Amino acid sequence: MLRIPFDARRFGVIAILCAGLLSPQLQAGIEKQRLLFHDASFALKKNQISKFNRLLKQLDDYPAQPYLVYDSFRHNVSHRKPEQVELFLQRYAEFPFAYHARGRWLDTLARRGDWKNFLTFFDGRANTRLQCLSFQGRLKLGQLDGLSEEIGKIWMRGYSQPDHCDSAFSYYLKNHEQPEQVIWLRIEKAFKARRPNLARYLGKKLDPKSRAIVETWYRAHQRPESSLRKLADAKDTDHNRAIIVHAIDRLARRDALKALASWNLIKDQFLFTQEQKEQAQLRIALSAAFQHEPEARALLSGLDPEIMNDQAYLWLARIQLRGRDWAGLLHTINRMPPHLQEENEWRYWLSRSMEAEGQLNGSLSLLEELSVKSSYYGFLAADRLKREYRIEQENAASSEIDEEGFLDDNPHMLRARELYYLDRLVDAKREWFQALRYLDQDQIKQAATLASKWQWHDSAIRTVAKTPHRSDFSLRFPMPYKQQVLEHAQARELDPSLIYGVMRRESLFDPLARSSVGALGLMQLMPSTARKVAHSLGMKKPRKSDILRVENNIRFGTQYLRTVMNRFDNNVALAAAAYNAGPGNVRRWLPRDNVMSADLWVETVPFKETRNYVQAVLAYSTVFDKSLGKSTLMSSRMNDIKTRY
């Protein structure tokens, strides 16, 4: 989480937002406490301990004050004594930070080598590093009962573990009745998990003959096509059969047809198990489907029904969609497992296939059922029936909320509000979602309404999603930063509903959102993309903190959206896909021979994330149309997909 320094201007905005919710006296008092909190936090960072303690005492009745105590705990945890920490953890046991404070203390005890206290404080949490440190402590203290079994659970994972596990793993192998067997089991898991370097490392623990087998497997992982040619003349052994099937899997992910040719040459030369044969056939068929190979339909259709999994059914259906094989699609949907048949996606396409096959009454019934839903497939169904969309606002909270009374009964939520206003968003979210565990459905609705009132939109959206209430569109689809969005939409000739649709899908309107791959802000821009866009706008190279600024993020995001719209002739579906997966992928997914309708193209995008993304952006844009007073058909944003752009 990016640490944003206290900004008095932002604090002023917050105060304005909060004004009117509290009495003037209470409002003034809480604003003063928030300022004192920031002063105390700054003093602690500057190691001005006397000033910090003086300010801390002035905040005794402030709900977020314990977080300053936690900050102080972190500041000098290395100097704490066990009895002090025990008192701290007992006093703040109900606070989310207690979990993290205990983790920091455990790290301190491990560095000290104080294994007795480490094991006393260790709470058995599912943290591999700390689990392995606990193993170290038990080894040091001779607490060996059941230890091998616990270590074995971590050993059998097919990916690398922290270095802290090394001594425990050594003990495990030394005391195992068949160490070579468990080494091989983990090697196989590592290759399956696509961790070849781990497998190679583990192979060094084996005898020279076994190491050579691991090296063969490693080469097959790295260079499957050439390895398969060599393996065709190898002995028929258990390991060689496993290596061949793994190489087929690897090759299929790159080139399904080459994998098919290799498999056809080699499959009868070895005594593969039925499971291995099915594994190879399924991987080749699915990869052919991902790669839009013409042979994919026959490969999937030829699979034994016993090995057809969800992916096989879904991709056979998508291939039939792409080929407009309505009879085949009807047959496939009717063979799908019930949980797939019940999804809106396949109820819509069942309707379409029934319509094409002349089963008009059944088709109409399905469309009518779907058309009342405010969703992607609901809007598609409504467009086919030429009916208005069902986007009718219903308020989640049934009456005016007594904010102070509600928060007085929910201390976690009260602290969450204060932490949100203090820009401690990670802590605020932890408190907020801990609070939700203790609320009933009506209280959760009230909580969502409060979060929205505070303009904490991402938490409001996530909170209302925990209820069956789906028709409070003001909560689920707010329109923050409206002036900036409209200005940039006009400047770049973009539909503001589309901008909001992208923003809603990308970040739930969290201005400080950061993805696991490093995308930043409201419109989730990768730093490299933001820098290219900034350069095209004649701006200096932005830092990450610059990209997170709302004005910059909207400017860069809308400019990039304009770029992909230009690249794909203003086709919204293609531009949304490019915004998510990159223009290069979108070009590879274009139809090869004939123009394709957008709904068919979207349904057959190989990446599930991108497929869902495009559908969400289209549906969300339609909802935002309603808020902006427009009556735009979703289908009007779904131009046919050409073979070239």
pLDDT digit string, tens, across residues 117-127: 999 999 999 99
R_g (Cα) of the chain, nearest Å: 29
Mean pLDDT, residues 580-608:
94
Q: Which residues contact 532 (CB under 8 A, 6 or more apart)?
A: none
Q: Is the pLDDT of residue 161 over 50?
A: yes
Q: Is the pLDDT of residue 4 over 50?
A: no
User: Which of 626, 462, 596, 492 is closest to 554 using CA atoms?
Assistant: 492
> For residue 396, what pLDDT is reported?
73
Strand partners, 514: 520
Q: Which residues contact 477 (CB under 8 A, 6 or more apart)?
A: 500, 504, 620, 623, 624, 627
> For residue 12, what pLDDT is reported?
40
> For residue 28, what pLDDT is reported?
78
Average predicted confidence (pLDDT) for the chain? 94
For residue 35, give Cα distances in angstroms to 8, 11, 29, 42, 568.
9, 9, 10, 11, 50
Q: Is residue 470 very low, low, confident or very high in pLDDT (cuts 50, 70, 90)?
A: confident
Other CB atoms within 10 Å distance of the CB of residue 156: 11
Q: Which residues contact 81 (CB under 8 A, 6 or more apart)?
A: none
Mean pLDDT, residues 611-615:
98
Q: Which residues contact 468 (CB under 8 A, 6 or more apart)?
A: 441
> For residue 318, what pLDDT is reported?
94
> For residue 468, what pLDDT is reported?
84
Tally of residues, the chain: 645
Mean pLDDT, residues 254-262:
98
Q: Is residue 469 very low, low, confident or very high in pLDDT (cuts 50, 70, 90)?
A: confident
d(CA 546, CA 537): 15
Q: Is the pLDDT of residue 141 over 70?
A: yes
Other CB atoms within 10 Å distance of the CB of residue 584: 9
User: Which of 557, 581, 552 is closest to 492 using CA atoms?
Assistant: 557
The secondary structure of 519-554, three-state, reads CECCCCECHHHHHHHHHHCCCCCCCHHHHHCHHHHH
Are 432 and 457 spatial neighbours (Cβ–Cβ below 8 Å)?
no
Mean pLDDT, residues 389-415:
87
> For residue 488, what pLDDT is reported?
98
pTM: 0.87
d(CA 575, CA 526): 17
Are 389 and 626 spatial neighbours (Cβ–Cβ below 8 Å)?
yes
Selected residue with higher pLDDT from 28 and 235: 235
Q: Is the pLDDT of residue 387 over 70?
A: yes
Give CA angle at 299 (294, 304), nearest 5°. 160
d(CA 36, CA 55): 7
Strand partners, 525: 520
Are 93 and 70 spatial neighbours (Cβ–Cβ below 8 Å)?
no
> For residue 400, what pLDDT is reported?
78
d(CA 510, CA 458): 6
Q: Is the pLDDT of residue 10 over 60?
A: no
Q: Which amino acid is at 221?
A: H
Are 64 and 30 spatial neighbours (Cβ–Cβ below 8 Å)?
no
Mean pLDDT lowest among 26-40, 90-104, 214-228, 497-511 = 26-40
For residue 322, give Cα distances in angstroms to 243, 296, 511, 519, 595.
35, 12, 39, 32, 11
For residue 186, give Cα distances in angstroms to 55, 175, 329, 635.
55, 17, 41, 51
Are 548 and 521 spatial neighbours (Cβ–Cβ below 8 Å)?
yes
506 given a catalytic annotation: yes
Are 380 and 348 spatial neighbours (Cβ–Cβ below 8 Å)?
yes
pLDDT in tens, 552-593: 999 999 999 999 999 999 999 999 999 999 999 999 999 988
For residue 20, give Cα distances in angstroms to 17, 348, 418, 456.
8, 47, 16, 17
DSSP state of 525: B
Mean pLDDT, residues 613-621:
98
The Cβ-side half-sphere exposure at 607, using a 13 Å CA radius, reads 13
Q: Is residue 402 very low, low, confident or very high in pLDDT (cuts 50, 70, 90)?
A: confident
31, 293, 418, 506: the active-site residue? 506
